Structure 1
Amino acid sequence: MGFGTIFFIVVTVIVLYQLWTVLGRRTGNERPPYDPYSRGGEGAAPQQPGNVVTLPSRRLPDAEPPADVYASIDKLAEPGSPLNSELRRIRDADPSFDPAQFLDGAKAAYEMIVTAFADGDRKLLRNLLSPEVYQGFEGAIEDREKRGEKMQSSFVGIDDIQFASAELKGTEAFVTLRIVSQLISAVLSPSGEVVDGDPEAVAEVRDVWTFARDTRSRDPNWKLVETESEEG
């Protein structure tokens, strides 16, 4: 086994471990990941169990917390705003919650989910999505397979990711993000002809994804519980 192979395996293990320690396992709501080439009503619906973003792992709070435990929240959400208030409530319920770390984890999870959807990787999606959301993704993948089509996708990167809203319902924390990404994607027929998309063009994709977890749960992971496409 060459060094390159060993390095790849190590990196993969690290990425999956980080995802696992940050994502949650809770159920969510609606659709499958944005498929720029899905046909009209074939879209995805809610999906199945899994996690989503590289969110902060749950750990015991420090004996002496920093003077301003909300400083990181104030940097990303205007003090006094509803978003800031809800993020503070989540921080109070889960002292390990850090908004900056959450966004970093979300970026990693987003890429993994989008790539897994294009590849038809059900096993990985089950570990990243809530049961409801998984059903939607799996349904879209099955439709492609029945038509004998394959989706080619290349993840270019994330241009922007921001908190859209947050809410603490009882012990359940919900965080919604607006994500702007760049993708190259195309659907090919059984004969290899391009059915949808463009294998050479970079497309901007705007998504609104919601993650959730029970702040009282020993499971530190967050789950993708709802997906929605947003017109640019």
Structure 2
Amino acid sequence: MSGQFDIITLIALVVAVAAIIKLRSVLGHRTDEDEQRVERLKTREREARQRAGPESGSADVITMPRRDRDVPAPAATAETLTANAETRIKAYPATDPAVTAGLLEIAKLDPALDPDAFLTGAGQAYEMIVSAFAEGNRRMLRDLLSKDVLDGFTAAIADRESREETVDQQFVGIKKAEIIEAELKGGVAYLTVRFASELISAVRDKTGNVISGDPQTITDVTDIWTFCRDVSTARARSDLNWRLDATQAPN
């Protein structure tokens, strides 16, 4: 048995050694096709490095191809900005020529002035202020009103709260907003806007009874508000926020 086992083992070893030698000869042999494949790979790598350029300091950085026509536009000059502002202002349909003149005067200090963009922002501020006043949200009002107007609004809220009254209000929307006055005084721009809006509003006493207004009826409301913004210096103009500076009743 032991002699038979030794012969079988020897034969198995010979076969294994022969297989290993054959496998190594096959794996280690490189054909002409393999050589061509390696050369093509090396050529692609060289071309990729050349496209990346000398500034590509890391293999982890991928340099995007650039086109010669993608040249940054030159910075706009002050004259160009002013001309663009004049075009926007003259395109705004002001009902009073004095409004156009006032807007042009403001644009001399603030060439970024755009009447249409201002009205969009003023309309958003109008809705926020009207809603914040109804809710008694002093914090929101503080960010949108000048000091004098804020004092008047907070006093009215405190008076309402002292009577334990609440306001039920729903802002329906603005039907029309137009700039009716524009003025520059001491480096401060003042723009007055007439808002024609729709509200549903009712005041309730502490028991919940309606004492004024109607919670079921849409009411037309007209407000004339003046917004202000310091445009005297570049630093002042960096603050793009306008604040409500005055309110008045319509004529």
Specify if TM > 0.5: yes
- Is the 1:174–1:211 contact (alpha carbons within 8 Å) kept by the matching residues of 2? yes
1:138 corresponds to 2:143 = no
Structural RMSD (CA):
1.9
Deviation at 1:77, TM superposition (A): 4.1
Q: Which residue of 1 aligns with 2:179?
A: 163
Alignment match of 2:246 (pick from 217, 222, 226): 226
CA distances 1:90-109 after superposition (whole Å, capped 9, x unpaired): 11110111111000000100
* Bigger relative CO (Cα 8 Å, ≥ 6 apart): 1
TM-score by length of 2: 0.64
In proportion to residue count, which structure has more helix?
2
The aligned residue for residue 119 of structure 2 is 103
Matched, 1:65 2:80: yes
Letter in 2 for 1:223: R
SS in 2 for 1:102: helix
Q: Per-residue displacement from partner, 1:165-211 (whole Å, max 9, x unpaired)? A: 10011311110011100000000011110011000011111011001
1:68 Cα deviation after fit: 4.5
The alpha-carbon deviation at position 221 of structure 1 amounts to 1.6
Q: Does 1:148 align with 2:164?
A: yes
The structure number with the bigger radius of gyration is: 2
> How many residue pairs are counted as aligned between the two chains?
171
Partner of 1:127, secondary structure, is: helix
SS in structure 1 at match of 2:85:
coil
Aligned letter for 2:246? E
Give me the whole-angstrom Cα distance separating, in 2, the residues matched to 1:101 and 1:108: 11
Instruction: Report deviation, 1:116.
Output: 0.2
Alpha-carbon shift at residue 130 of structure 1 (Å): 0.4
CA distance 1:80–1:65, shift in 2 (3 Å): farther
The 4+ residue runs of structure 1 with deviation greater than 2 A are 61-69, 77-80
1:74-223 correspondence to structure 2 within 5 Å? 74-78=90-94, 81-215=97-231, 216=233, 217=236, 218-223=238-243
Question: Structure 1: which 5+ runs fail to align?
Answer: 1-60
Give the deviation of 1:160 after TM superposition. Answer: 0.5
* Residues 94 and 180 in structure 2, CA contact (< 8 A), matched pair in contact too: no
Which ranges in structure 2 are unaligned for 5 or more consecutive residues? Answer: 1-74
Q: Distance in 1 between matches of 2:85 and 2:127?
A: 30
Identity of aligned residues (%): 43
Paired residue secondary structure (2:80): coil
